[in-house]
Copies of this chain bind each other. A is one copy, B any other.
Amino acid sequence: MVETIQWTEDGVVMIDQTRLPREETYVTCRTYEEVAEAIRGMVIRGAPAIGVAAAMGVALGVLLSGEGDLDAQVEKICATLAATRPTEVNLFWALDRMKKLYASLRDRPLEEIRARLIAEAQQIRLEDIAINEAIGRHGAALVPDGRTVLTHCNAGALATAGYGTALGVIRAAVELGKKIDVFADETRPFLQGARLTVWELQQDGIPTTLITDNMAGHFLKSGRIGCVVVGADRIAANGDVANKIGTYSLAVLAKENQVPFFVAAPISTLDLTLAAGDQIPIEQRAAAEVTHVFGAPVAPPGVRVENPAFDVTPHRYVTAIITERGVARPPYTESLQKLALS
């Protein structure tokens, strides 16, 4: 199994997700700035994986801290990492966790602070794998046997420290013996579905069919899709879900065709400080992601482009939210609060 991200003596090593599946290459980030750049440039992506990367970035920054006020340096490290992907709440969750640990340690010797922060980042990575396996266990029961599961983007091992959220649910359903196959949206513009989800599921031998994003509605109408399972980048207190652009459309089309629509995400994706999804900031990315595919232009020069990386799916389209602590059902304001406190 490929490792998405690892702490090594050389630095933070990530598989380069901009080059998959054509090349299986690894990037070693030797400074926290390089970690931030890897997050921004989507060498690593997926909300939980970004959380792990951010934690490792803090540990790396403190490991290499210079003379002078360490508090100020930690502040700067966290601010730099926080400025990369504004929608991803797991990023802020991981930074908060590292900041709180640092605050509890700041009177300790520097070597101890460094060792504890490194251990914490590694712990976050290990916890994430265990969390995804728990999400898989809770979600597997919801997947209709003998049918096709539709997924969008990549909420797989590559989007996490391992196993995956949405793909974790699929993997766990297969492990339960359910006879399912997967339809993977290619997920323009970055093609996470075509490049990453197909590649991951091929490695696991799970039958997968690639479709373009605009075919999903046609197949939802056809009756062959038993459920949709996607990940999430931030979930508001009322159950509104920010996830990869195109998720909202899938959710509407699933509801229109009476197909269950499931969101699989760790508790760290909940942002209970936001009452509703319209308060979630939506990252706008570069036009070139839309106008070019692997460097080749697909549109005339000079065209205006919109490139929101995420959209918000109102909770009324969400059948259930699958977390490591159990499955939340509507009304989400109550069920999510209960899981968060459990």
A152 to B249, CA, bound (A): 15
Cα A302 to Cα B21 in complex, Å, equals: 12
Assess the B311–A194 pair: CB atoms within 8 A.
no
- Taking CB atoms, residues of chain B closer than 8 Å to A298 are 186, 191, 194-195, 293-294
A186: chain B residues at CB < 8 Å are 188, 290, 298-299
**Chain A 133-152 interface mask (CB, 8 Å, partner B; 1/0):** 00000000000000000001
Known: A217-B246, A246-B217. A300 touches B253 (CB 8 A): no
The quantity of this chain's copies bound in the complex is 2
In the complex, what residues of B have CB within 8 A of residue A185's CB?
Answer: 214
A224 CB to nearest B CB, Å:
10
Say whether B216 contacts A305, CB under 8 Å: no
Given contacts A217-B311, A219-B306, A296-B296, 10 further A-B contacts (CB under 8 A): A185-B214, A186-B290, A194-B291, A194-B299, A213-B214, A213-B246, A217-B248, A218-B308, A218-B311, A293-B293
Residues in A lying within 8 Å of B, measured CB to CB: 21-22, 152, 183, 185-189, 191, 194-195, 198-199, 202, 207-219, 221, 245-246, 248-249, 252-253, 256, 290-291, 293-294, 296-300, 302-308, 311
